[in-house]
């Protein structure tokens, strides 16, 4: 699926008009300041905004070679939901479950209610909804036997920085439900869970967010709750590099990938004690514009050899980017993370973090060496603590009439 197709909604808007729509929305905000206190826009301005369509009407095609929600534009809201299979859910039941959930997802992503939808009105605003399914090792074993389980589909090795809480670990079935509207996500999650309840129970749910659609120009790299620009050095969807990094060619998983989810607490209280220079030093990039400490723009290539007057490298060898850089060519991942922010407890004013999520064809070859290096030394570890960890195989997409997981279950 091309980026353009992914961006083209039910209303038939092109990527270009959506981009223009974003700009128009920004301009609209400025005009609204001048509007009367009811917030009403001048009629001509309202007509202009109506012409570019509503955010809520946008759809992302569900069917395709790859599942949507990986190389398609990232949405503002996401719920990551992991389920545990009931003991009675055997291979036949798994086939029934995935047919049902695929049908729900295919309908909901077009703005139709799921079959027997109890609140179809809530489904009518798809807002670029995507549903991405993932399989844990136990599901793959029940479906296809031990030989079907890729060698990397297992809990990650234990790392010294981890303080994992079982409440956020593992899972047999993953559903990542994302959209540019929180009500859409809530409704889709509820429909999918209603239809999965004969087969599985909820193990954990992690809700994440980024900036709202239209708040920033499309393509702006996200900021995490440390204020860092996070996601600069990432393969670009639609490029040969992306295809090589992300898509698997391993048997039933061909056209699929893997996903690592690391729930990571960000200690904002102690981060508050650090000045902007030290904050930039810990990552190797400036906070305000994301440029490497040796450059002036976010897109500049970091120079890890450059030294300062004292003869020390400008980018510390123990900064996050120096440690996360690939040592071997194949150590590249595609990051697609979300922020979380919950009620604090005790003296703290925040309980915040990152739902770190990455896609790669092979976890052991691509992800684990990076994580092992970061666990060994990384200045950023001073303020970050992984509290949850899970690995899933993400099956390929399916065609209309097929279902997600059919290459394993059919």
Residue numbers of the site for ligand HEM (CB under 6 A)?
Answer: 224, 226, 228-233, 262, 264, 283, 285, 320-321, 324-325, 333, 354, 356, 367, 370-371, 374, 380, 384
Cβ 203 to ligand HEM shortest distance, Å: 21
Cβ 353 to ligand HEM shortest distance, Å: 7
Cβ 39 to ligand HEM shortest distance, Å: 36
Determine the Cα–Cα distance for residues 175 and 185; give it in Å rounded to an integer.
11
Burial letters 369-384, b for 16+ CB under 10 A, else e: ebbebbbeebbbbebb
Give whichever of 149 and 229 is closer to ligand HEM, judged by the CB atom: 229
Give whichever of 207 and 230 is closer to ligand HEM, judged by the CB atom: 230
Cβ 162 to ligand HEM shortest distance, Å: 11
**Per the structure block, which two tokens stand in for 230?**
């996070």
Q: How many residues does the chain have?
A: 410
Cβ 302 to ligand HEM shortest distance, Å: 6
Determine the Cα–Cα distance for residues 298 and 296; give it in Å rounded to an integer.
7
Cβ 347 to ligand HEM shortest distance, Å: 23
Please say whether the beta carbons of 302 and 315 come within 8 A: yes
Question: Which residues does 78 contact at the CB level (< 8 Å), separation at least 6?
Answer: 176, 177, 178, 185, 207, 208, 209, 338, 355
Cβ 290 to ligand HEM shortest distance, Å: 6
Give whichever of 18 and 261 is closer to ligand HEM, judged by the CB atom: 261
User: What are the backbone angles phi and psi of residue 202, rounded to the nearest 5°?
Assistant: -70, 130
Cβ 102 to ligand HEM shortest distance, Å: 31
Give whichever of 111 and 284 is closer to ligand HEM, judged by the CB atom: 284
Per DSSP bridges, beta strands 257-266 and 384-394 are: antiparallel
Determine the Cα–Cα distance for residues 90 and 125; give it in Å rounded to an integer.
35
Determine the Cα–Cα distance for residues 97 and 103; give it in Å rounded to an integer.
10
Give whichever of 370 and 391 is closer to ligand HEM, judged by the CB atom: 370
Cβ 215 to ligand HEM shortest distance, Å: 19
Instruction: Using alpha carbons only, give the angle 375, 154, 70 rounded to the nearest 5 degrees.
Output: 80
Give whichever of 233 and 407 is closer to ligand HEM, judged by the CB atom: 233
According to DSSP, the residues that pair with 355 across neighbouring strands are: 263, 338
Q: What is the DSSP letter of 64?
A: S
Give whichever of 89 and 384 is closer to ligand HEM, judged by the CB atom: 384
Q: Dihedral through CA 168, CA 170, CA 176, CA 180, nearest 10? A: 20
Give whichever of 327 and 410 is closer to ligand HEM, judged by the CB atom: 327
Helices of type H across 35-167? 43-51, 91-108, 120-123, 137-144
Cβ 275 to ligand HEM shortest distance, Å: 17
Determine the Cα–Cα distance for residues 154 and 33; give it in Å rounded to an integer.
53
Give whichever of 192 and 355 is closer to ligand HEM, judged by the CB atom: 355
According to DSSP, the residues that pair with 237 across neighbouring strands are: none
Give whichever of 127 and 283 is closer to ligand HEM, judged by the CB atom: 283
**Per the structure block, which two tokens stand in for 268?**
């904002």
Please say whether the beta carbons of 129 and 59 come within 8 A: yes
User: What are the backbone angles phi and psi of residue 247, rounded to the nearest 5°?
Assistant: -85, 135
């Amino acid at each position: 699926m091309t980026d353009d197709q992914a961006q083209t909604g039910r209303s038939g808007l092109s990527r270009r008009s959506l981009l223009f729509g974003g700009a128009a929305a920004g301009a609209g905000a400025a005009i609204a300041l001048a509007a009367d206190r009811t917030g009403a826009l001048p009629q001509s301005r309202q007509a202009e905004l109506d012409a570019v369509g509503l955010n809520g009407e946008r759809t992302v095609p569900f069917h395709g070679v790859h599942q949507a929600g990986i190389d398609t534009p990232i949405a503002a809201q996401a719920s990551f939901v992991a389920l545990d299979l009931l003991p009675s859910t055997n291979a036949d039941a798994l086939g029934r479950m995935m047919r049902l959930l695929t049908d729900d997802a295919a309908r909901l992503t077009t703005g139709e209610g799921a079959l027997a939808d109890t609140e179809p009105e809530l489904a009518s605003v798809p807002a670029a909804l995507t549903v991405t399914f993932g399989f844990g090792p136990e599901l793959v074993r029940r479906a296809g036997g031990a030989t079907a389980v890729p060698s990397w589909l297992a809990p990650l090795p234990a790392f010294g920085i981890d303080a994992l809480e079982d409440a956020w670990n593992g899972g047999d079935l993953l559903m990542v439900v994302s959209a540019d509207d929180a009500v859409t996500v809530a409704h889709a999650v509820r429909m999918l869970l209603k239809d999965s309840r004969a087969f599985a129970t909820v193990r954990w749910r992690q809700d994440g967010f980024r900036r709202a659609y239209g708040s920033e120009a499309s393509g702006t790299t996200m900021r995490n709750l440390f204020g860092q620009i996070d996601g600069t050095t990432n393969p670009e969807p639609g490029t040969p590099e992306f295809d090589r990094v992300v898509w698997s060619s391993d048997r039933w998983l061909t056209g699929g990938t893997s996903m690592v989810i690391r729930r990571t607490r960000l200690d904002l209280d102690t981060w508050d004690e650090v000045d902007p220079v030290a904050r930039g030093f810990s990552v190797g990039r400036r906070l305000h514009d994301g440029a490497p400490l040796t450059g002036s723009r976010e897109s500049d290539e970091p120079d890890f050899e450059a030294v300062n007057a004292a003869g020390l490298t400008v980018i510390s060898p123990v900064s996050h980017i120096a440690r996360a850089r690939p040592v071997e060519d194949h150590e590249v991942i595609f990051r697609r993370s979300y922020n979380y922010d919950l009620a604090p407890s005790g003296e703290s004013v925040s309980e915040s973090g990152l739902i770190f999520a990455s896609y790669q064809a092979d976890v052991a070859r691509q992800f684990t060496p990076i994580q092992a290096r970061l666990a060994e030394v990384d200045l950023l570890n001073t303020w970050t603590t992984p509290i949850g960890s899970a690995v899933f195989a993400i099956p390929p997409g399916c065609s209309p009439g097929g279902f997600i997981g059919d290459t394993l279950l059919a």
